[in-house]
Amino acid sequence: MGSRSASRRKPALIPPVDADPVLDVMMRELRRSMEGFDVPGSPRPYFMGYSLRRVHSLRLRAAYGSLIRAREDHRAGIYCEVRVGDHHFDNVIDAGLDTRADERESAEWVEAPDDLDPRALHVALWKLGQLKFDEALEDYYDHKKAMVSEYLRDEVDALTREPPLQHREPLSDDPFPRAQWEAMLREASRAFLRHPEVHDPGITLTVERVHRWMATSEGTQVITEDFFAYVDVGGWVLTEDGVYTEAAQQRYARVLSSMPDAAGLRALVDEVLAELSVMREADTPGAFIGPALLAGQAASTLFHEALGHRLEGDRLVARGETRTFAHKLGQRILPAGIDVFDDPTATGPDGQPVWGSYRVDDEGVPAQRALLVEDGVLRGFLHGRTPTRHSRQSNGHGRHDGLAPPMSRMAHLTVVGRPDRAKRWDELEHELVELAKRQGRKEAMIIVRVHGGETSTQAYDFQVFKGEPAEVWVIDVGSGERRRVRDVELIGTPLAALQRVVAFGGEPGWEEGYCYAESGSIPVSGMAPALLLSEIEMQQRSTHGFHEPLLPPPFADDGSRGRTVDHRKRGRRRRS
């Protein structure tokens, strides 16, 4: 399994490419490095790749009719991958999940010149490449050392063989309509002046245009452009029992024309203010266990945390991972009638790219739809260029943030309920109540939206996931009355949660946002139908109670001091 035969083999020369200043510099330095990185007695590089991301970003934040943040900049960063050895055995162990790239010396040399001057860029690539080669040699011998004391039973090969890709997109440098957006945010945020009971309100607009260049020693040459924009409107209220409770609304766009206009922005503010008013009067059920109905957006988050991360192929070869589904290929893991796939090429109802979509992944492989579950049976995994026992080819899901090594990640995780088994929302609600009655429960729960979630897949930790609900209702089984509740979070174990799905259907719901894992923070999205679960567990989220500020906000101070504070209630929260 060593690399003796390949370690001294002279690498093939890279064919020339059409003129592009950035790609030209990358390819020239790749040729130099592939020929010149030669340490006697040590393996040579068999693969190298450079990538560069240049990001034009704008971040605006407004509150109380004022623009309190306005930051616009251009920044560029480079990434280099060096593989020494051969396709069967090289310097990468555990699929690179424990690389900790931000702690290495090379992390200090990832900046590229803002103006992309070819000479300065060439020097930056040269410096980073040298450091990455040194680190690759160190990792290679660490990998060899691990082979002495351990049997790495899940390793197959080191790197898949993929055909070189030529893909180039036009790049735009059009300015953002900053003045227009600033005026919109100022005007919409004036509404908070009428609501002194809302704490720390704000409207945040974040926009990024990302230009990406990639070149590899295999001959892959890629240029892409992506646009990401999202609006976040939110605020907090303090409840009677001293809990700060949040309400927020987000909108995501991949094209400029899909961003909210002034009327849309005001509508988002109104939604948040109305929800905060409701949340201020809502109570908390404390701990809860019983049947629950999850609307599509909440169900999508559940699948993302409980299932999606455990189908990332790199986790099948890393020693520190539990490999929850590694031996379940061909076995039922979900109820019949449910299909799951991840499709980076997906578009939304408007025909525009979804938040997690892309054309080429971060390893130079075309984006592809990956079938994961068919009729409830596990059929596949998400794969980058790390081979596993289940696949020796990438399906275009190698992704990263530009610093950590790419790994297999979700893009647009899609859950589909087959029509012959799907049910309407009203039917699901009826089944929810009947299920609670059969279990002898007094209450059942409906989760409409969640803020986000998290999970752990490592063998060292407990196999759990957690979700932070944003809109939750409790139904009284006897009377049918429902009330809004707050201050709870969803907890569970992945296998148990998936096995408790008893029905599905209704209008699919969408989720969009950023997902953080070992390869960094990346944009992801997903969609799923509503799910009826026979049982979920909720726990109270807050751990501290707070008192109201002694003074009102300055804009709402009329000079009177009629309010009194019961100091005995400070720091105390109501027991459930």
Across 362-457, where does the E strand assignment appear?
370-374, 377-378, 398-399, 407-408, 412-417, 443-455
Q: Is 547 inside a domain boundary?
A: no
> Based on the structure, what is the number of domains in the chain?
2
Contact 267, 557 (CB under 8 A): no
517 and 368 housed in the same domain: yes
pLDDT digits (tens, 9 = 90+) for 108-159: 999 999 999 999 999 999 999 999 999 999 999 999 999 888 777 778 999 9
Q: What are the b/e assignments for 244-282, b being 16+ CB within 10 Å?
A: ebbbbbebbbbeeeebbeeeebbebbeebbebbeebbeb
Q: Is 565 inside a domain boundary?
A: no
47 and 131 housed in the same domain: yes
Other beta carbons less than 10 A from residue 477's beta carbon: 21
260 and 312 housed in the same domain: no
87 and 158 housed in the same domain: yes
Contact 202, 189 (CB under 8 A): yes
How far apart, in whole angstroms, are the C-alpha atoms of residue 194 and residue 238?
17
Contact 370, 397 (CB under 8 A): yes
Percentage of the chain beyond pLDDT 90 is: 80
534 and 483 housed in the same domain: yes
Question: Nearest CA to 49 among 157, 138, 156, 125?
Answer: 125
Question: What pLDDT does 462 receive?
Answer: 66
Question: What pLDDT does 459 receive?
Answer: 64
- Tokens linked to 333: 């893991």
Using the 3D structure, point to which of 281, 312, 342 is the last residue of a domain: 281
Contact 416, 409 (CB under 8 A): no
384 and 333 housed in the same domain: yes
Contact 64, 29 (CB under 8 A): no
Mean pLDDT value across the chain = 91
Give the relative orientation of helices 118-149 and 21-36 as an angle to the nearest 10 degrees: 40
Question: What pLDDT does 11 receive?
Answer: 46
Q: Is 205 inside a domain boundary?
A: yes
119 and 167 housed in the same domain: yes
323 and 264 housed in the same domain: no
Q: Is 548 inside a domain boundary?
A: no
Q: What is the CA radius of gyration of the chain?
A: 26
269 and 368 housed in the same domain: no
- Residue type at position 58: L
pLDDT digits (tens, 9 = 90+) for 347-399: 998 899 999 999 999 999 999 999 999 999 999 999 999 999 999 999 999 99
Across 309-406, where does the E strand assignment appear?
338-342, 370-374, 377-378, 398-399
- Give the structural domain span for 218: 4-281
Question: Nearest CA to 429 among 484, 473, 494?
Answer: 473
**Confidence band of 323 (pLDDT split at 50, 70, 90):** confident
**Confidence band of 460 (pLDDT split at 50, 70, 90):** low
Contact 212, 116 (CB under 8 A): no
Question: Nearest CA to 522 among 368, 415, 409?
Answer: 409
Question: Nearest CA to 334 among 418, 250, 426, 271?
Answer: 418
C-alpha 564, offset from chain centre: 45
Using the 3D structure, point to which of 525, 540, 555 is the last residue of a domain: 540
Residue 12 belongs to domain with CATH number: 3.30.2290.10
Question: Nearest CA to 319 among 65, 161, 143, 519?
Answer: 143
381 and 244 housed in the same domain: no
Question: What pLDDT does 227 receive?
Answer: 98
CA 337, 390, 520, 457 torsion: positive or negative?
Answer: positive
Q: Is 569 inside a domain boundary?
A: no
Other beta carbons less than 10 A from residue 367's beta carbon: 21
Q: Is 557 inside a domain boundary?
A: no
DSSP state of 284: -
394 and 428 housed in the same domain: yes
Exposed, middle or buried: residue 544 (CB in 10 Å: 0-12, 13-18, 19+)?
A: exposed
Q: Is 157 inside a domain boundary?
A: yes
Q: Is 186 inside a domain boundary?
A: yes
Using the 3D structure, point to which of 281, 307, 330 is the last residue of a domain: 281
Contact 180, 12 (CB under 8 A): no
For residues 315-330, average pLDDT: 90
pLDDT digits (tens, 9 = 90+) for 266-304: 999 999 999 999 999 998 888 899 999 999 999 999 999
- Tokens linked to 356: 């997690």
299 and 238 housed in the same domain: no
